[in-house]
């Protein structure tokens, strides 16, 4: 399902927001999962990036902006071609793109595996196929776009681990795909949760994720988020 912008009145709601009006709120409950058995140890080094797709990028960006050690989070598109990397085209659901976030982090403060743990437990539901909550379509699929072989091995190992531990009621459907390119989304999507905290879609679908992050990962949570403006 595609969407327009999510403000009142209905004509200005996003299509995700419009789905909320039709179907009702669908805030995700947090899931406590074990840390990955295979991970890179925290160590000083240059900034690293990971690209994650977990439904509407507004909420996923909002979660990782509150993670200690994260220095930058950009909403955008991954999985498709440059010429279709724009919101209206992606919202049609047939471009190959997924709404994604590019997370830049300090490997001395937070590990890649820890970010995946947060991704699986509070940022989205990895058992929903081509949807998240009220939003449906391949552009809302769950995916990890890896930048190198080490990221691929950790992601694949962690998914196998979580499935073996039966931490979720259904199998994880998250794709693990090579990152060909990441295309930043339009400016009005960036830091959307922070700029529109009272948007009904944000209140019911995304603000609970921030609370779950603070509840499950107090040592990784920071109250003042990093933003593209900082």
Say how far apart CA 113 and CA 37 lie, in whole Å: 9
Other Cβ atoms within 10 Å of 29 Cβ, number: 8
Contact 18, 3 (CB under 8 A): yes
Question: Under 8 Å CB-to-CB from 149, ≥6 apart: which residues?
Answer: none
Its sign, for the CA torsion 174, 16, 70, 74, is: positive
Longest dimension (CA), the chain: 49
The tokens for 136 are: 């449906």
Is residue 56 part of the annotated active site? The answer reads: yes
Of 56, 78, 122, 155, the active-site residue reads 56
Which residue bears the tokens 């909002």?
62
Q: Which residues are catalytic?
A: 56
């Amino acid at each position: 399902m595609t969407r327009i912008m999510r403000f009142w009145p209905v004509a200005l709601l996003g299509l995700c927001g419009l789905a909320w009006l039709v179907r009702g709120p669908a805030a995700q409950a947090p899931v406590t999962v074990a840390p990955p058995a295979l991970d890179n140890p925290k160590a000083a080094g240059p900034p690293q990036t990971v690209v994650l797709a977990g439904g509407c990028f507004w909420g996923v960006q909002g979660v990782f902006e509150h993670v200690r050690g994260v220095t930058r989070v950009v909403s955008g598109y991954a999985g498709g071609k440059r010429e279709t990397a724009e919101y209206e085209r992606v919202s049609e659901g047939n471009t190959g793109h997924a709404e994604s976030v590019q997370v830049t982090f300090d490997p001395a403060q937070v590990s890649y595996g820890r970010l995946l743990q947060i991704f699986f437990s509070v940022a989205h539901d990895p058992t929903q196929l081509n949807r998240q909550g009220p939003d449906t379509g391949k552009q809302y699929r769950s995916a990890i776009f890896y930048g190198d072989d080490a990221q691929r091995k950790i992601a694949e190992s962690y998914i196998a681990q979580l499935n073996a531990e039966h931490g979720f009621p259904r199998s994880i459907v998250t794709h693990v795909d090579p990152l060909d390119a990441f295309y930043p989304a339009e400016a009005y999507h960036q830091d959307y949760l922070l700029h529109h905290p009272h948007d009904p879609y944000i209140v019911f679908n995304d603000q609970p994720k921030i609370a779950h992050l603070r509840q499950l990962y107090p040592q990784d949570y920071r109250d003042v988020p990093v933003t593209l403006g900082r």
